[in-house]
Amino acid sequence: MSFQILGTGAYTPEKILTNDELSSLVDTSDEWITQRVGVKERRISVCESAAEMGAKAAQRALDAAGITAEQLDLIVGATVSADCICPSMSAMVQKQIGAHCPAFDVNSACSGFLFALDTAAAFLERGGIQYALVLGAERLSRIVDWTDRSTCVIFADGAGAFVIAKGENYLGSHLFTQGGDSVLHIPLGRGNSPFYEKEEQPLAVHMSGQETFKFAVTQIENDLKLIANQAGIDLSEVSWIVPHQANYRIIELAARRLRIPIEKFVLNLEYYGNTSSASVPICFDSLVRSGKLKKGDLIALCAFGGGLSSAACLIRW
Ligand code: COA
């Protein structure tokens, strides 16, 4: 199963919310957030939906790939914070960029982009399609409880996208799900059914921070080892690792356990926070546009989140 990346794109909304500004909303401080999470500021959408941000990232990826939206054969998107359950975020992106291909979303929370990428890779492998758009787009600010200081300091908004085509550069992948809602849960909130007997939790991110932390470190370590084994390489051969941008301490601990220099981990969480499924493609796009990538570089992508889920893949540039 393989593909090549033809172009990447990212979009983040203009509004910057700093830790100091957040400290006027909830009982927190720049010092606490910087030390415990590693975020200094994040982007917040004041009017754009996940799909609108996704369409902008998608257009940038199309421009970088040098193809038009009409040429797309498939759109697979990932989101947990679309404006509606139906239509899918990807269907809205399809309309906004002017594509005509099938479009659907996968939901695997912060691992969603890598699940979507693997899904598109399988479509390319099956044949009959040439170009696929894969995107992660999130407006998490609409589902975060802005009175809960343990979550609202972490999450943020943005979108990232890849345009891929059949090729030989996807060297291995691993998807993992440990089902259950006790650690991370985003309930929809209840409608007005007169028949429900149980009171339901309101729409918001409910998260056990420490459990998520432990899961994340373990999965980054396990998943990266697995994909290296799968591809028959040593992890030291990987030039860059693009991890889900959730918490600097998670990444640092995983790097130490894996004995990989932290300098190999691409980081932007200081400026963008955790944008869930958009986090890996936004960060990857910054690496591509930095000009640091050399042909033949091995890049590992890894993510973890609600589900619980995790995923990793290996790409040759
Ligand atoms: N500002 C100040 N204090 C805060 C705070 C904030 N934003 N959030 C929590 N605290 C307080 C707690 O109330 C607690 O106070 P107490 O000791 O008086 O009870 C104290 O800080 C320690 O809380 P704890 O939950 O143990 O902190 P932590 O070091 O585990 O950090 C997280 C909390 C959420 C930052 C951390 O657990 C984390 O990042 N987990 C992973 C979350 C994640 O990656 N989620 C995304 C998954 S995709």
Q: What is the pLDDT along the chain (317 residues), one digit of tens a residue?
A: 589 999 999 999 999 999 999 999 999 999 999 999 999 999 999 999 999 999 999 999 999 999 999 999 999 999 999 999 999 999 999 999 999 999 999 999 999 999 999 999 999 999 999 999 999 999 999 999 999 999 999 999 999 999 999 999 999 999 999 999 999 999 987 788 888 888 888 899 999 999 999 999 999 999 999 999 999 999 999 999 999 999 999 999 999 999 999 999 999 999 999 999 999 999 999 999 999 999 999 999 999 999 999 999 999 99
> What's the confidence (pLDDT) of residue 1?
58
Q: Exactly one of 274, 283, 302, 313 is catalytic; name it.
A: 274
274 in active site: yes
- Position 117 scores a pLDDT of 98
Pocket perturbation via mutation, ligand 1, pick of 247, 272, 280, 283 by most ligand atoms within 8 A of CB = 247
86 is catalytic: no
- β-strand pairing of 206-207 with 240-243: unpaired
* Residue 67 pLDDT: 98
Going from the Cα of 227 to the center of ligand 1, the distance in angstroms, rounded, reads 31
pTM for this predicted structure: 0.96
Phi, psi at 197, each rounded to 5°? -95, -25
For residue 231, what pLDDT is reported? 94
**Residue 197: what pLDDT?**
84
